[in-house]
Amino acid sequence: MYNEKVLKIFENPKNAGLLKGANGVGKVGNMQCGDVMKVYVLVEHDKIKDAKFKTFGCVSAIASSDVACEMIKGKHLDDALKVTNKDVMEALGGLPPQKVHCSVLAQEAIEAAITDYKKSTEKKKK
Ligand code: FES
């Protein structure tokens, strides 16, 4: 069902785990499958210095989180927000049609983490 790239990333994700010093966290879930994805970002000068994830989910959810974290590292927040689930799927070499929603979860988790960062920095400014 999965291509080799997806399986390789799933077996050996580079960005799994807690990110120490993270200043943005996004938690999203899919009600239908019950999978939950958390993305942590460390933002400095509006750029994503580091990103990690913790995903309780299927093979493609874990692989999607990993490539999504990899893709946003080093990017300006505005550019990171432009990463779509299609980009995630492309980076994975494709996902089975019934697994497209797993890549959507990764896009949503990135958005949630960046929103969380922006909210917390705004609060500090007040
Ligand atoms: Fe739901 Fe993969 S089956 S995130």
Joined tokens for residue 121: 């920095």
Q: 115: CA distance to ligand 1 center in Å? A: 23
Question: What is the tens place of the pLDDT at every residue in 101-125?
Answer: 999 999 999 999 999 999 998 887 7
In a domain, 15, yes or no: yes
Structural domains counted in the chain: 1
- Is-above-0.85 flag for pTM? yes
DSSP of 79-103: HHTT--HHHHHHHTT---GGGHHHH
In the annotation, is 58 catalytic? no
**Mutational pocket test of ligand 1: of 30, 53, 54, the residue with most ligand atoms within 8 Å of the beta carbon:** 30
Question: What is the tens place of the pLDDT at every residue in 49-91?
Answer: 999 999 999 999 999 999 999 999 999 999 999 999 999 999 9
CB-based contact 64:26 (threshold 8 Å): no
CATH code: domain of residue 57: 3.90.1010.10
Q: Which domain holds residue 55?
A: 4-121
In a domain, 126, yes or no: no
In a domain, 45, yes or no: yes
Q: Strands, E, within the chain: which ranges?
A: 24-29, 36-44, 47-56
In the annotation, is 69 catalytic? no
Minimum-distance ligand 1 atom for the alpha carbon of 101: 4
The helix, strand and coil proportions of the chain, stated in percent and rounded to the nearest 5, come to 50, 20, 30
